[in-house]
Each structure stands twice: as C-alpha cells, then as structure tokens.
Amino acid sequence: QITLKESGPTLVKPTQTLTLTCTFSGFSLSTSGAGVAWIRQPPGKALEWLGIIYWDEDKRYSPSLKSRLTVTKGTSKNQVVLKMTNMDPVDTATYYCAHSLFGYCSGSSCATFDNWGQGLLVTVSS
C-alpha cells in the first residue's frame, strides 16, 4: 500500500523560500520507473503540476515555474523535498505530493498520479 504525506510550514512570508517534504512508504524511489511529483491547488481553483523527480534523479519542472523550483531526494531514502523561491500571495495553495510511474510501467498507470498525499495548505502572507 502506497502512502504519501506532505509536511512543512503552513504560513510563509512574501519573498521567502518554501521548503516542503514528502514522506512516503510502500514503494522505493530506487525502483526503475518510480517518481514523486508535486502538484498544487489554489483555493477554489484547478490543479497545477509543479515538478517531478524520477528514480534515476531525472527532474522535470513546469515551464512557467521552472526558475523558482527545485525538487530533490531527501536525506532519508523515503523522502522528497520541494523548494520554491520568492513566494508570493498568489502561491497560496494546497500542495500535494503524488506517486507516478514512467518508462517501466507497461500495463500500469504510466504518466499519471496514482497515489496522493492528503495535501498541505500553505498560506503566503505578511
């Protein structure tokens, strides 16, 4: 059973850097094809993909936010970290991490988000 959970500050000030951690279980990020993605959702609005890190350390980012984002593996083998710089009130959103598969997923849900964390509401305000 795959589980994921986001942790980090729920309130950040404008211009600060947001650091969130996704702690997961039920899969290994060393397994070929595995990935952990970050997705956000402003209150009452649609989902927006932010970035993803794959088992082989390949990282991909939303073109519109690429300059502000960094996704890395954490110090623990079951953690992934998201950093977003220069936070603004428009970045107020629920931030989710999710499991994804690509490249070694024949017959499975390739290139989707098949398991999600519960989400963490991050408010940007002075």
Partner 1 sequence: DIQLTQSPSFLSASVGDRVTITCRASQGLSTYLAWYQQKPGTAPKLLIYGISTLQSGVPSRFSGSGSGTEFTLTISSLQPEDFATYYCQQFKNFVFIFGPGTKVEIK
Nearer to partner 1, 106 or 126 (CB): 106
Quote the least distance from Cβ 77 to partner 1, whole Å: 24
Quote the least distance from Cβ 98 to partner 1, whole Å: 8
Would you list the DSSP string of the chain? --EEEEES-SEE-TTPPEEEEEEEESS-TTSTTEEEEEEEE-TTS--EEEEEEETTS-EEE-TTTGGGEEEEE-SSTTEEEEEE-S--GGG-EEEEEEEEE-SS-TTS-TTS--EE---EEEEE--
> Which residues are at the interface with partner 1 (CB under 8 A)?
37, 39, 46-49, 52, 60, 62-63, 96, 98, 102, 109-114, 116-119
Quote the least distance from Cβ 89 to partner 1, whole Å: 21
Nearer to partner 1, 56 or 114 (CB): 114
**Identity at 55, one-letter amino acid code:** W
Task: Work out whether strand 93-101 and strand 120-124 pair parallel, antiparallel, or are unpaired.
Answer: antiparallel
Nearer to partner 1, 18 or 102 (CB): 102
Quote the least distance from Cβ 47 to partner 1, whole Å: 4
Nearer to partner 1, 63 or 75 (CB): 63
